[in-house]
Amino acid sequence: MTSIQTNGHAAAHAAPTIKIVPPEAPLRDVMNGAGRMEIPCLDHGFVALVDCMPRLVPEGKTADFAIVQSARVSYGEGTKQVSEDRGLVRYLMRHRHSTPFEMVEFKFHIAMPIFIARQWIRHRTANVNEYSARYSIVPDRFYRPDLESVRKQSKSNRQGGDEPIDVGTAEEFMKLLDNAEHLYKDYLSLTEKGVARELARAALPVSVYTEWYWKCDLHNIFHFLSLRMDPHAQWEIQVFAKAMYELLKPIVPVSAEAFEDYRLESMHLTRLEIEAVRSGKPLATDNKREQAEWEAKRERLGLK
């Protein structure tokens, strides 16, 4: 243990003593010394893990260690078995004790189309710093889906698309994207003539890419992932969410397993649905959306 000592009358005004305590056991880097870990997404995008907390953990443990440590309000983890740690993490996830999961944080560098960023930013529990088109010229990167990926508006989901649209209409849409991308040349020209970047950007479509750093704790990342990895989420944002999950899963494998078991692959039943299971009768509501959701759950449970 090393300390910084102060003495005499000046001590009252001096910096406090700082004790440097060495780790109780050898530590390892959960990112294995990597500066960043990156997965490409869509045509020009990516999700890159650039840092996490804790970055250093006792040998033989994962970053799940910080969750257990917080839950036990103890630093004497050496006497605990890994199996006991796993049981505690699963208990915390199962019973929705969220605070210990907030002790783990991840920082990502992400490039995505602006229309995806605007969905993403609705998750307001992260710290975000975005590329500024007020200060810098927007790079020439636009999202273009494959022709087969142009989707028809869903009849049951007002905010989404489902099956592919006919080829002729898809080709017409691709021409619309061509026209939108051609605005980029005019955007560059007008900024060179002196039009302010903060105003010139107004002419660019939401298919252009933006970037940001996004830092968030594990509890709120899991909430984001439970919504954005869902099959009902927009396909493009699912791509980014799945990439994010692949990057963090090896770092918190116990928490990820519990997340899959109790959140991602689980099912919430309402009071009316529980009564329907008990009685064997139809759902006691005239609401068509509730009825449709219940039928989907019954099918998943093998009750149809």
Distance CA 241, CA 262 (A): 18
Distance CA 190, CA 201 (A): 10
Phi, psi of 84 (to 5 degrees): -70, -40
Mention every residue, 6+ apart, whose C-beta is less than 8 A from residue 247. 37, 39, 47, 49, 106, 108
Residue pLDDT, tens place only, 198-210: 999 999 999 999 9
135 pLDDT exceeds 90? yes
Whole-number pLDDT of residue 75: 41
Provide, for the chain, the percentages of residues in helix, strand and coil under a 3-state DSSP scheme, each rounded to the nearest 5: 45, 20, 35
Tokens found for residue 58 = 């006792």
Residue pLDDT, tens place only, 240-281: 999 999 999 999 999 999 999 999 999 999 999 999 999 999
Distance CA 232, CA 160 (A): 8
Which sequence positions are flagged as catalytic? Answer: 228
Mention every residue, 6+ apart, whose C-beta is less than 8 A from residue 136. 197
Of 9-13, 41-45, 151-155, 162-166, the one with minimum mean pLDDT is 9-13
User: Which residue is associated with the tokens 């294995």?
Assistant: 32
85 pLDDT exceeds 80? yes
What does the pLDDT average to over 95-113? 97
Instruction: Examine residue 54 and say whether the peptide bond preceding it is cis (omega within 30 degrees of 0).
Output: yes
Residue pLDDT, tens place only, 165-188: 999 999 999 999 999 999 999 999
Closest CA to 52 of 37, 72, 40, 42: 37
May I ask the CATH architecture of the domain 26-139+209-266?
A: 2-Layer Sandwich (3.30)
Task: Spell out the domain ranges in the chain.
Answer: 26-139+209-266, 144-206, 269-304
Within 10 A of 262 (CB to CB), how many other CB atoms are there? Answer: 15
Helix (H) or strand (E) holding 218: helix 218-228
The DSSP symbol for 27 reads: E
